[in-house]
Amino acid sequence: MTDLLQCLVGLALCVFGVYRWSTLRGEHAAAAQRYVHRSVFCLGIALIVLAPAAARAVEHTIALPGLPMLMGDQLRMLAVSCLGLLAARSVRRQVITTASTLVVMVVLFSAADLQHTSGELFVDIGRRPFLAAYDTVITLFPAWHLVALVRVTLRRARQAGPGVQRIGLRLFCGGVALGVVWTAWGLDDIRLALFTGRQTDGEDTVSTVLGLVCATLVIAGGSTSAWTPLRHWWWSHRTYRALTPLWSALHREFPEIALQPPRRSIRIRQLTSRAVRFALYRRVIEIHDGLLLLRPRMETLPEPVTAAESAAAIATALDKATADSPARAPESGYRPLPPEADAEGREVGTDAEASQLAAISRSFASQALLAPRRADLPV
């Protein structure tokens, strides 16, 4: 079960890293985020390769003891190297340093001549120093990068003003600091290599948990640019649902307000940010059209009008429309909702109109629960 969870998490990290990497491609200002998501992609593959079940499958296929360990460790070095670029290091110097480290790892791994038996990797007594040197490289290289990155991130977090950026930097710093702890966990492998000549094949439980938590914090801190669109998507979705009671009542009375027939099933493409936003503002337009048709039966309310008063007036007008009461001529210059303005006197946009209608719709739904005649309205 642990192997399956580690593979699934690694696969999720790979998908996330590729998706964010592709969406940020070509944006010069998002270079730091591209480094983060490349690192996440490499770490995801490393978790899959280092899962015990995957490691056994690779060794059974290629018949080279310790190969999954080497592959996973090199992927982790690549992940750390991508994060190291965030410390304002030269890309060329970083490439040279990383390439040299990977070559040294291969040389030490070959010199150690690992053997596999009883589910463990081991080396002969004379080759223990090579295995210990290998473990030292994969411990010191990440620690060197991560400690420097912690200092840079802390300094930037202190300089950042209150808001999403500071929160993101603190989360990212916490993930990098936990990465230092995760790296320090490799000191036990150095001790085992020197005194017993044995090496664990794949990640143990503690190392896996540290890696997953570290990746989660790094992703959360490195994806602050997606927080605002995600928050607006959630607001649009909630507002769309909040408009349902008022829209349903108006649509039942005036079916012609629907710009397109409502769908009974939800498609994946309907959940994208653009689709949800478009559906919300289409619903706002449809409600405005319904209120215009309902206006001849609505009583004029003194301003300012609260959401509860507007909902009560709409409910009364719907009762009259259902009872086929005579309609009076609409007033000239009528607007279903009074225009709101900002501090400079300019009208607000459609977001505020949607919020205003959502408040009226919630009041309308609450009043419908108390009215037996409208008790079947959706909430």
How far apart (Å, rounded) are the C-alpha atoms in residues 379 and 368? Answer: 9
Asked whether residue 210 falls in the same domain as residue 339, the answer is no
d(CA 238, CA 232): 10
36 is a domain residue: yes
Q: Which residue has the higher pLDDT, 232 or 334?
A: 232
Tell me the pLDDT tens digit for each residue of 204-226: 677 777 777 877 887 777 677 66
One domain, residues 17 and 107: yes
Q: Of 22, 57, 56, 53, which is closest to residue 37 (Cα–Cα)?
A: 22
H-helix or E-strand spanning residue 115: strand 115-117
Residues 36, 222: Cα–Cα separation, whole Å: 6
**Residue 311: its pLDDT value, please?**
84
- Contact criterion met (CB below 8 Å) for 28 and 65: no
Comparing 337 with 279, the larger pLDDT belongs to 279
Q: What is the pLDDT of residue 187?
A: 82
Assess whether 214 and 251 both reside in one domain. Answer: no
In contact, 191 and 136? CB cutoff 8 Å: no
Above 60 in pLDDT, residue 199?
A: yes
pLDDT at 324: 65
Tokens of 302: 């003194």
Of 222, 246, 265, the position where a domain reaches its end is 222
- For residue range 79-109, list pLDDT tens digits in order: 888 888 877 678 888 899 999 999 999 999 9
- Give the mean pLDDT of the chain: 77
Higher pLDDT, 279 or 301: 279
Determine the average pLDDT of the residues in 343-358: 66
Say how many C-beta atoms besides its own lie within 10 A of residue 101's C-beta. Answer: 20
Q: What is the DSSP letter of 179?
A: H
Residues 185, 212: Cα–Cα separation, whole Å: 14
pLDDT value at 232 more than 70: yes
Among 43-47, 56-60, 188-192, 248-252, top mean pLDDT goes to 248-252
- What mean pLDDT is predicted for residues 245-273? 74
Q: Given a cut of 70, is residue 270 above it in pLDDT? A: no
DSSP 194-205: HHT-EE-SS--H
3 is written with which tokens? 């192997």
The answer to whether residues 170 and 301 belong to one domain is no
Q: In terms of domains, do 202 and 245 share one?
A: no
151-161: per-residue pLDDT in tens? 888 888 888 77
Q: How far apart are CA 189 and CA 133, in angstroms?
A: 11
pLDDT winner (highest mean) among 28-42, 204-218, 238-252, 359-373:
238-252
Find the CATH number of the domain harbouring 29.
Answer: 1.20.1070
User: H or E stretch including 232?
Assistant: helix 227-242
Residues 171, 36 within the same domain: yes
For residue 118, the model assigns a pLDDT of 63
How far is residue 75's CA from residue 13's CA, in Å, rounded to a whole number?
Answer: 13
> Is the pLDDT assigned to residue 264 strictly greater than 60?
no
What was the pLDDT predicted at 107? 94
- Do 297 and 280 sit in the same domain of this protein? yes
Confidence at residue 379, expressed as pLDDT on a 0 to 100 scale: 42
pLDDT for 348: 40
Residue 371 pLDDT level (bands cut at 50, 70, 90): low
pLDDT of residue 261: 67
Last residue of a domain, one of 222, 240, 266: 222
- Report the SS3 class of residue 118: coil
Whether residue 333 is predicted with pLDDT greater than 50 in this model: the reply is no
Q: Give me the domain span that covers residue 322.
A: 231-374
- Residues forming a β-bridge with 119: none
> Do 271 and 319 fall into the same domain?
yes
Q: What dihedral angle (degrees, nearest 10) is formed by the CA atoms of 80, 81, 85, 87?
A: 50
Clarify whether residues 161 and 140 are in a common domain: yes
In a 13 Å sphere around the CA of 92, the CA atoms on its Cβ side amount to 0
Asked whether residue 150 falls in the same domain as residue 37, the answer is: yes
For the chain, what is the domain count?
2
Q: Which pLDDT belongs to residue 200?
A: 67
| Residue 302 phi, psi (nearest 5) | -70, 140
Q: Is the pTM of this model over 0.85?
A: no
Burial of 335 (0-12, 13-18, 19+ CB in 10 A): exposed
Tell the residue number behind the tokens 């009461």, with chain if given: 325
Q: How far apart, in whole angstroms, are the C-alpha atoms of residue 122 and residue 115?
A: 5
Percent of the chain whose predicted confidence (pLDDT) is above 90:
7
Cis peptide before 302 (omega within 30 of 0): no
Query: Last residue of some domain: 173, 189, 222?
Result: 222
Q: Are 243 and 203 in contact (CB under 8 A)?
A: no
Question: Are 170 and 283 in a shared domain?
Answer: no
Task: Specify if 379 maps to a domain.
Answer: no
202 and 274 inside one domain? no
